[in-house]
Structure 1
Amino acid sequence: LAFLHGTFIAGVILVVVFAIIVCLFLGFLLSLLFLAIVDVHEGLSMLAPYIETVRATLMLGGVLVLYKVLHSVVFVAMAIKPWVRHRFLQLKARVPRLALYTLLQHHSFQGCSLTFLFIF
């Protein structure tokens, strides 16, 4: 019984010591993180004028890239417009044949109603 009681007390002491070590380690890590954040903030405050210049340059570059992309997209859209119109007319001419084929394939009421909706 004394051995069991001693083992229990030793286990409780080990858990308490382990919890204290974990708390100290977490406190140390949080203090290091806080110091790193303060150092980064000071470094960025010294570089703020340069960062604003770079930011403005990047924004201007982004606008120019967007302009070039939109210019290319409009050019491509205008170039393929006749092809798209031709494909649309082909599809429009093919729709009644597809609707009739669907009507012949499916004899259920639901298929017919969907086919008539597809035709009209």
Structure 2
Amino acid sequence: MKFYLKIAAGFLLLLAVFAFMIWYRTTALGHEALRDIATQAQLCKTVGCSEGIDEAASYLAEQYGLSPSLVQWCVGVDTLSERDGAKGLVNRSWWINLLYEPCGDPITE
């Protein structure tokens, strides 16, 4: 019985590490994309461009009806969906759709 508990604990730990890696990579891609948006829109006033990133995230949050913190995730998923699958994921449709779930449907007028 203890052996099965160790296997289950190891599996849960592996799942948690995998989820953290996905979150970290996706939000990092979103941060890079928001920095590019802020740079192109000339919103950067400092070297780190944190105020420009915040302004771009706030604008996108207002446009699409998301919280500013969720914008970074959704922009990261957008960046992932634009890639061609060279990183080992050939059929990404179900995977990207799963990652888009927190973003919900955008508000359209």
Q: TM-score range by the shorter chain?
A: 0.3 to 0.5
Greater C-alpha Rg:
1
TM-score, structure 2 normalization: 0.37
TM-score, structure 1 normalization: 0.34
Please state which structure has a larger fraction of its residues in helix. Answer: 1
